[in-house]
Every structure is written in structure tokens, then in C-alpha cells.
């Protein structure tokens, strides 16, 4: 799948996930001198739900439209590749940053293949890139079911080899 977008976009898996799971895929930020080439915003949501509606597939892609969801969020290379952070969205007013990096080692490189692995197990979410643990959070009030989505903004990215596993 290629995300080639000027504005914001989220591509949702249309199946709700629950319990202990592992999500894996490969992702590359492409730079081939095309319109949307920009090294930024390799993001994802998981365990996303809308507390007010049965579906969350009513948004048009603006990032602020997700503020009222409950979810976990990893933003790699956000703000023009200046920050990498992990958040839990609780309410529109409460989206605490749980962990953040600004050093070069945790930001994006063009054309590099990133193997992403997200594990949700017994109330703990961990987020791995190329076998390096970036984030781990044991949630006192864990989100135990919801949707998974790829997110990006003004970028061109290739996603391959998506696999989702139920864990014991």
C-alpha cells in the first residue's frame, strides 16, 4: 500500500481487534522527487474507539478530528521530523505524551525500511522499530479493544507485509 497524501490521512483496518495482539509491518518513507516527498509523520493508532459512536470511520483526515477518540498513538518523525512520541488519548483535553525523543537516532531517514512491531499484552503496549524498543507503557486503565490505523501527513510512504497475530 502507498500512502501518497498532501493532507492528513488515516487508513483504518475495518476489523476491531481485541485482547493480546501483535501487529507487524514494514514501512518506508519514499523520496523520489515527487510532490509529496517529505521525511515526516510515520504514525499509527491502535485500540482506537469512539466513546460517543459505534464507528469511528466518519472523519476526513484532519488530525484534530481524532481528539475525541480513545486510542494509543505513536508518531515517528512528527513536526517535520523533529519529534518521536507516544501518547494515550483519553479526552479531547487529555492526550498526555508518555514518552518522547528528539535525538537523531529516533527520527526518520528517507528510503530506510522500518520493521514496526506493536505488542499489546496484559495491559502493556510496546512499540518496536527494527527490533529496538522505542516505547513501553503499562496502562493502569488499558484499552483492550479497538481499531488499528496507519496515519500520515504530507508524505509518501510504502507499507508492506502487514501481519496481525492473536497472542495467548
Q: What is the pLDDT of residue 64?
A: 82
User: Taking the CA of residue 98 as centre, how many other CA atoms within 13 Å lie in the half-sphere pointing to its CB?
Assistant: 20
Cα–Cα distance list, 80 to 40, 42, 48, 86 (Å): 5, 11, 25, 16
d(CA 47, CA 21): 10
pLDDT at 93 (0 to 100): 81
User: Is a pLDDT exceeding 90 seen at residue 60?
Assistant: no
Confidence of residue 96 (pLDDT cuts 50, 70, 90): very high
C-alpha cell at 146: 479497538
What is the model's pLDDT at position 34?
77
Burial of residue 78 (number of CB atoms within 10 Å: 0-12, 13-18, 19+) = buried
Closest CA to 17 of 153, 163, 151: 163
What's the mean pLDDT in 71-92?
Answer: 94
Q: How far apart are CA 144 and CA 5, in angstroms?
A: 31
Tell me the CATH architecture of domain 2-166.
Sandwich (2.60)
Q: What is the pLDDT of residue 61?
A: 76
Is residue 16 scored above 90 in pLDDT? yes
Contact 45, 147 (CB under 8 A): yes
CB atoms within 10 A of CB 118: 21
pLDDT reading at 108 higher than 80: yes
| pLDDT at residue 56, as a whole number | 85
In this prediction, residue 20 carries a pLDDT of 98
Amino acid at each position: 500500500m502507498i500512502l501518497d497524501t498532501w493532507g492528513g490521512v488515516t487508513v483504518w483496518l475495518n476489523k476491531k481487534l481485541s485482547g493480546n495482539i501483535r501487529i507487524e509491518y514494514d514501512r518506508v518513507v519514499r523520496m523520489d522527487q515527487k510532490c509529496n516527498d517529505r521525511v515526516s509523520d510515520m504514525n499509527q493508532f491502535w485500540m482506537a474507539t469512539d466513546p460517543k459512536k459505534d464507528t469511528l470511520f466518519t472523519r476526513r483526515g484532519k488530525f484534530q478530528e481524532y481528539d475525541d477518540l480513545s486510542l494509543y498513538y505513536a508518531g515517528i518523525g512528527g513536526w517535520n521530523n523533529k519529534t518521536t512520541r507516544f501518547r494515550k488519548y483519553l479526552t479531547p483535553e487529555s492526550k498526555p505524551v508518555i514518552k518522547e525523543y528528539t535525538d537523531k537516532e529516533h527520527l526518520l531517514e528517507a528510503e530506510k525500511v522500518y520493521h514496526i512491531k506493536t505488542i499489546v499484552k496484559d495491559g502493556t503496549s510496546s512499540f518496536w522499530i527494527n527490533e529496538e524498543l522505542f516505547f513501553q507503557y503499562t496502562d493502569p486503565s488499558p484499552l483492550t479493544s479497538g481499531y488499528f490505523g496507519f496515519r500520515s501527513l504530507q508524505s509518501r510512504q510504502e507499507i508492506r507485509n502487514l501481519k496481525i497475530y492473536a497472542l495467548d
